[in-house]
Copies of this chain bind each other. A is one copy, B any other.
């Protein structure tokens, strides 16, 4: 029996970690994944240390089995090729800044009109909507904003549930053509292991672990002290690092110790100290304003109570009411982080059931069949 997503074609324009991992997880279930990369450097993940056999160990672990074609979406010839690919694809994945693909003429509205069956999957730092949609994101920044920092390990049991849901959906897709069900078998141990990310890649490449003093996979991605408290900053790409040097008036972007990603990772401790020597001079809000204006991902470290009032999270309906049986607000729950076009993003949910609380209703529904 084939893999459940056999025959499915994914056009993957994403780079770094989250997007390529989404495409990988669909590829692992049988989909054909074609990476569409920018000519020259391609996926930024290709530059993430450590390297083994001349390739990034993390890139190898998260992009195996995919095909790659380099296309310049501003060149007429390459646009023609891209459009021929779109006509054959089931799914387009992208993690550009919201609006970037639209400016190239490939936004959701235009693509949906031209290819009505195409599914468009977008991953971004803050979402396609809300006051901060177009800000650059990074997972450490999102964690600081979301109130995750200082909470220790959270959501691990839930992630195993996400894998289970994904397997079930792949089986449902398969059933739509075969009519046959499948068993999906997911374990806590396997899912914990599958999500080791850069730590796995480092161990697999024979590098030291972070506790043993190994360089981080991205730098600078740091919690930094300002005059009145800490904030989080992520400027891992050459372009962002250059902007950071300008914003801090630190002439390091052509310094050989810091000019390229791998060098910055190898000298991350020194780099953090040089940056902090500047950030300590001014307040946190001074730096957040300045860095944000310069387009550099940065965020305050929020408590969970602060996160629950965060304007971007509220604009994304990420705090929803759970009503009781009388329609009164009784509890809060996180909203649905999967926003799907055409489906209402509700701000309230029905109650969690009492034990056996729907027996009559369920039995009546069975009788209706």
Write the nearest CB–CB distance from A65 to chain B, whole angstroms: 4
17 residue pairs of the A-B complex, CB under 8 angstroms, read A18-B158, A43-B355, A61-B322, A66-B352, A66-B353, A69-B356, A120-B181, A121-B168, A142-B187, A145-B192, A148-B195, A154-B199, A155-B196, A165-B166, A166-B166, A171-B340, A182-B341
Assess whether A127 is in contact with B42, with CB atoms less than 8 Å apart: no
Q: Which 5 A-B pairs have the closest CB atoms?
A: A155-B195, A1-B342, A169-B169, A21-B161, A68-B353
Instruction: Given A120-B184, A188-B18, A340-B3, decide whether A25 and B330 contact each other with a Cβ distance below 8 A.
Output: no
Instruction: Given A53-B324, A67-B361, A116-B179, decide whether A355 and B42 contact each other with a Cβ distance below 8 A.
Output: yes
Assess whether A170 is in contact with B35, with CB atoms less than 8 Å apart: no
Copies of the protein in its oligomer? 2
Assess whether B119 is in contact with A22, with CB atoms less than 8 Å apart: no
A interface SS class: mixed
Assess whether A172 is in contact with B338, with CB atoms less than 8 Å apart: no
Instruction: Given A19-B164, A169-B170, A352-B59, decide whether A108 and B183 contact each other with a Cβ distance below 8 A.
Output: yes
Assess whether B88 is in contact with A366, with CB atoms less than 8 Å apart: yes
* A107-150 near B? 1/0 per residue, CB < 8 Å: 01000100111111111111111000000011111110111101
Question: In A323-369, which residues have CB < 8 Å from any B CB?
Answer: 324, 330-344, 349-359, 361-363, 365-366, 369
Write the nearest CB–CB distance from A5 to chain B, whole angstroms: 8
Residue A288 CB within 8 A of the other chain: no
Instruction: Given A19-B161, A307-B193, decide whether A126 and B187 contact each other with a Cβ distance below 8 A.
Output: yes
Assess whether A21 is in contact with B188, with CB atoms less than 8 Å apart: no
Contact of A69 among B112, B304, B350, B358 (CB under 8 A): B358
* A67-85 near B? 1/0 per residue, CB < 8 Å: 1111000000000010011
Instruction: Given A91-B168, A154-B198, decide whether A193 and B147 contact each other with a Cβ distance below 8 A.
Output: yes
Residue A224 CB within 8 A of the other chain: no
Contacts of A361 in B (CB 8 A): 67
Assess whether A122 is in contact with B61, with CB atoms less than 8 Å apart: no
Assess whether A53 is in contact with B171, with CB atoms less than 8 Å apart: no
Contacts of A25 in B (CB 8 A): 161-162, 165, 336, 338
Residue A284 CB within 8 A of the other chain: no
Write the nearest CB–CB distance from A111 to chain B, whole angstroms: 8
Assess whether B122 is in contact with A184, with CB atoms less than 8 Å apart: yes
Assess whether A322 is in contact with B161, with CB atoms less than 8 Å apart: no
Residue A185 CB within 8 A of the other chain: yes
Contacts of A339 in B (CB 8 A): 167, 184-186, 190
